[in-house]
Amino acid sequence: MTEKTGAVKLEKLLAVKGMNDILPPESTRWEWLEEKVRDLMLRHAYRNIRTPIVEPTALFVRGTGETTDIVEKEMYSFEDRLNGEALTLRPENTPGVVRAAIEHNLTYDGGKRLYYMGPMFRHERPQRGRYRQFYQLGAEALGFNGPELDAELMLLAHQLFADLGLRNIRVELNSLGIASERHAHRAALIAYLEKHAEVLDADAQRRLHTNPLRILDTKNPAMQAMVQEAPRLLSYLGEASLKHFDTVKTLLSACGVPWKINPRLVRGLDYYSHTVFEFITDELGAQGTLCGGGRYDGLFELLGGKPTAAVGWGMGVERVLELLKEQGQFNAGAELDAYAIVPDAEALPVVMQCLQTLRASGVSVQMHAGTGDGMGSMKSQFKRADASGARHALIFGADELAQNVVTVKSLRDGSGLQRSMPLGDAARWATDLQSKT
């Protein structure tokens, strides 16, 4: 039985749980944000990179890390039906960017500054600020080892929040040093945790020997007092690592970015080194981390590339938009310049030709749509015009057309001012319709 026979009412199909449709007018806010991002990246000389959404599963097992929540339980992985290849919908984009950089030799003639924005997939429990398909904006600087790049990236995120008009976002910062320093700390940490085995929860016990650093950022209240007193990585850093970290802090302060050290901020992966950071708000409940990042000098080698320094961050776009809403920032601004009122369908050839000229000249204009039986009463057309939010109505009535003009009526400023404009000369008065005053 086909859907068209209508004999059986078919069940509605809905979006996958935790995956959202982004509808107008909400999508206008997304476009507004994307515009701000493009502009920001251009000013900072970061160029766009677009990598596939599907990657080999091994990329994330190695690049995100076998002992992370993401790889242990959050990935959408499947076998290619035709050749059995193990594939995964990307849960994050840093491994993909680094794979692409290695594959295309992007850093052969010096560093590259890149940014991306796109959907990521993680099988998590959906709630406000946590979805199964969500968007990440990310920036990565590949092939630079200086601390000024750590600072530049943090300034980039800071400036984006400023450009968006967001307030009350704090910056937390830590340093993970280099591998030998982390190994010395790790031994001390494991010894400490073993001494407190009775307070370790199941997760912590499992991680004790695989990823003990991650235990430090546990959210379990019963473990807080114990982790507060745990050995701190910062006290294991040598002179060079401390100097790198000091430079980052000095540069941030010089640029007016307030920061706070959080000794428990760890990324918990062996390829991270030196600076790690988060941008956090208290206005979104438990999903308050807007942006997280750090230096990951070891990742290129882990993915089969030459040793290459790198630093970057990823930002949750939904959370940023939710914070904008929370703080009353609605600069969506997709305003229509005009709404075309068409009393009689016979006028359509003339109307559509005129609108074509207006649109080519940059005017945004919505044309009234008929029903097939007719165009509808003037009253109902004016109602639609008001609802559209357009600043002007263009009236293509019989009287007007007889005189080769169109009436332009102001809808917004309360004046109701009407003017006649010559039909054949639309390009000349197009700019009038676009001026916001």
Q: Smallest distance, Å, CB 28 to ligand ATP?
A: 20
CB 395 within 8 A of CB 382: no
269 is an interface residue for ligand ATP by CB under 6 A: no
* Residue from 147, 268, 312, 316 binding ligand ATP (CB under 6 A): 316
Q: Smallest distance, Å, CB 58 to ligand ATP?
A: 19
Number of residues binding to ligand ATP, judged by CB under 6 A:
18
Angle between helices 317-326 and 147-164 (to 10 degrees): 40
* Residue from 40, 166, 291, 395 binding ligand ATP (CB under 6 A): 291
Q: Smallest distance, Å, CB 191 to ligand ATP?
A: 27
268 is an interface residue for ligand ATP by CB under 6 A: no
Closest CA to 422 of 403, 409, 435, 395: 403
Q: Which is nearer to ligand ATP, 319 or 392 (CB)?
A: 319
136 is an interface residue for ligand ATP by CB under 6 A: yes
Name the token pair of 372.
């097939």
359 is an interface residue for ligand ATP by CB under 6 A: no
Name the token pair of 98.
């680094």
124 is an interface residue for ligand ATP by CB under 6 A: yes
Q: Which residues pair with 289 in a beta bridge?
A: 280
* Residue from 130, 170, 206, 384 binding ligand ATP (CB under 6 A): 130
How far apart are alpha carbons 352 and 348 in whole angstroms?
6
* Residue from 111, 314, 370, 389 binding ligand ATP (CB under 6 A): 314
Q: Smallest distance, Å, CB 287 to ligand ATP?
A: 6
Q: Which is nearer to ligand ATP, 260 or 419 (CB)?
A: 260
Of 102-110, 124-132, 179-187, 410-418, the window that binds ligand ATP (rule: CB under 6 A) is 124-132
305 is an interface residue for ligand ATP by CB under 6 A: no
Q: Which is nearer to ligand ATP, 94 or 107 (CB)?
A: 94
Q: Smallest distance, Å, CB 122 to ligand ATP?
A: 5
Q: Which is nearer to ligand ATP, 81 or 219 (CB)?
A: 219
CB 283 within 8 A of CB 305: no
Q: Site residues (CB under 6 A) for ligand ATP?
A: 92, 122, 124, 129-131, 134, 136, 287, 289-292, 314-316, 318-319
